[in-house]
Structure 1
Amino acid sequence: MGEKKVAQRGLKLNDWIEKYMVIVVPLVIGAGLLFGETLYFYTYLVPYLFAYVTFAMAIGCSFEHIKDVFSKPLKLLLLFGIIHVLLPLLVYWLAGLVFGYHSPYVIGLVMFTLIPVGISAVMWVSMTGGNVSLMLAIVIIDSLLSPIIITGGLRLLFHATIQLDTVSMLIDLLLIIVLPTVLGIALHELTKGRIVSAVKPYSAPLSKLCFMVVVALNAAALTPSLDELKQDLLRIIPISIAIVLLSYLFGYLSAMRLIERADRITLSYASGIRNVSLGAVIALTYFSPQTAMPILLGILLQQPIATTIGLFLQTLNKTKLAKASRREYDGEDIQERT
């Protein structure tokens, strides 16, 4: 098979996965749960798969893109304020009304908003017309600050103090996020952007497949806790769905009048997609299974809801383009008449 045909098939596979993501993701989650006992032993691969997805996304970003993001510190402060201050306070208030403010479920739901943004958000942002370089910057900064954000937020809201192995966490985050990003941007700069078109037929579909494996392995990670969680699922599932959905919408709507549409899309996914693998480890290590439950459910909920949000944003974009085209046509029609 010729190289050109292989490239064409790679691009077709990438387009197919993006088109049917809303169907593929739930199927992958189902497979992860169905074969959880087998797949559970491969969950150690998640960081490496994350690292490749980060690298594949970073190839499309130049140093100028990142430099431009960091040249606007007020925008970054606004985004982080929404993600890690306003949203946790809102979730704390709403969940507290339902369960009581010292419930372990409330701690878990708030922790979901304190854990760092998940790297898979970069993929969703790239598919829905968001700002990829801004998303990468958010992921990098958020991951590096996560020990401070998580422990500080929990201490302020619940007076709960947890001890984290900060050095190990930072090393892992550097390997998973920072180094692949630096490498991708370096390759972009060295090739003056030519690498993007050269490797996209291979890197893009492979990154989507890696992402699917990550989703399946995260679902498989739930299997040891399923029996323990069954009795409370009917109680916590509705509020967990509401909180995850609220996170996406709150991110999109909260700064509507302050930032452009591409950045609103970015903020929506930054609010809704969190590194639930990291959150689950922290919750299961330092808190009760009830605290971990909302975060474990996030493994199942945030990706399917991400597909729904993606369809909503794409439909919204098509509607706006249609309206703009209609206004342009009407304007030309008026000029012809006059």
Structure 2
Amino acid sequence: MLNSFAVLNRWLGKRMFFVTLIALLTGFNFNLPHFLLSQNVTLFCFIYLTFVTSLDIHFKDLLRIIKRPILPIGMLILIHAVMPIIAGGIGFLFYPQDFYTRLGFLISSVIPIGLTSIVWTGIAGGDVVLALVVVMLDTLLSPLILPAFFSVVLGQSIDVNYSQMILELIMMVALPSLAGMALNDLSKGKVDKFSQSLGGLTAKIGVFFIILVNAALISPKIVWGISILILLGVILLLMLCGYLVGYLASFALRNRTRPTVLTMIFNVGMRNINFGFVLAMTYFPVAVAIPVTLASVFNQPLASIFTWFALRNAPKEQNLIQSTQVEKEISTKY
């Protein structure tokens, strides 16, 4: 049974673009029941996704990254220094007279990394441990980074509930990650059979649900027209720049490996759009929130496209291992 789930999991992993596309179209065009839109339901999905992803990680892997913090810090510089400069340049190029839209671009570029970047990193074959460390470090430093950003851009700070954000990080990333790593170490690596079969399959279903809910939430806020289509094009350009910056910066690494490159691409490219939307809607005019909200149209689909490209261009040896390793281990065990 696990063998069948493993095959289906890999099959679905190579077709995540269609998963995200179907989820977006469903969310945009159908009214979902109220209970499905509950924050608690999506919170559970995030917790489960992080837990399953962590089942392949050992504590020694986590220590490996912590002992060498230069790379995570460098990625944070790319996210919170390089990307805002690019966002500001794109804003002045396309919307020189629209301060609110430019501010929306800036907020989209400076908000914390999206939690699903961990999942996409795992699906694409990146360094999940590095992704976990960068996401946790980024969120923990946000109470320092965001006030400094708003002080520079607006000349004043805003009172954001950072304690709530950190609490959500602990619930969605830290605790399930530690639980998954602990279970992996206690089982001596045997639980990875679950994460590569039924666990991985259900995690991808969780990604589908998260995208569907986000699409359903933003759909009423979009009034389609020429101006929105142009804005979507500019947002797409900005988000592609994030992936490109992550990729180009990887050439500066002394030991440039495929998993590290993939991790940099997803971590620098993806953002926590849900947090950005709440931030913009709470403290700024609606015009500021529109670019942030529309970024969610591309956040997950772009990740699925880059994942498809990464899997399609994976080394033949890696594809061979992924195609046979799980079946052999499961058939031997069961």
Count of aligned pairs between the two proteins? 316
TM-score (ref. length: structure 1): 0.86
Specify the alignment match of 1:159 in structure 2: 155
> Residues 10-45 of structure 1, C-alpha deviation per residue, up to 9 Å, x if partnerless?
223312221211222111101011124546852412
Question: Is residue 205 of structure 2 the alignment partner of residue 209 of structure 1?
Answer: yes
Q: Corresponding residue for 2:306?
A: 309
| Corresponding residue number in structure 1 for 2:329 | none
Give the structure 1 partner of residue 96 of structure 2: 100
Q: Which residue does the alignment assign to 1:189?
A: 185
Name the one with the larger helix percent: 1
Q: Distance in 2 between matches of 1:17 and 1:198?
A: 16
Q: Secondary structure at the match of 1:255?
A: helix
- Give the superposition deviation at 1:275: 1.1
* Aligned residue type for 2:250: A
List structure 1 runs of 4+ shifted beyond 6 angstroms. Answer: 319-322
The answer as to 2:249 corresponding to 1:249 is: no
Show the 5 A alignment for 1:71-220: 71-100=67-96, 103-220=99-216
User: Which residue of 283, 289, 292 maps to 2:289?
Assistant: 292
Residue 320 (structure 1) shift: 11
Per the alignment, do residues 321 and 191 of structure 1 end up closer, same or farther by CA in structure 2, a change over 3 Å counting? closer
Partners of 1:318 and 1:65 in 2: CA distance = 23
Equivalent residue in structure 2 for 1:28, among 7, 12, 23: 23
- CA gap 1:71/1:101 in 2 versus in 1, 3 angstroms: farther
**Partner Cα distance (1:77, 1:47) in 2:** 27
Q: Distance in 1 between matches of 2:271 and 2:172?
A: 15
- How far apart, in 1, do the equivalents of 2:25 and 2:54 lie? 30
TM-score by length of 2: 0.87
Contact 1:39 / 1:217 at 8 angstroms: preserved in 2?
no
Q: How does 1:33-72 map to 2 (within 5 A)?
A: 33-36=28-31, 38=33, 42-44=37-39, 45-72=41-68
Q: Which structure has the larger Rg?
A: 1
What is the deviation of 1:201? Answer: 2.1
Indicate the percent of aligned positions where both proteins have the same amino acid. Answer: 24
In structure 2, distance between residues paired with 1:275 and 1:164? 15
Q: Is the 8 A contact 1:130 1:263 kept in 2?
A: yes
- Which deviates more from structure 2 when the two are superposed, residues 160-169 or residues 21-30? 160-169
SS of equivalent residue, structure 1 residue 194: coil
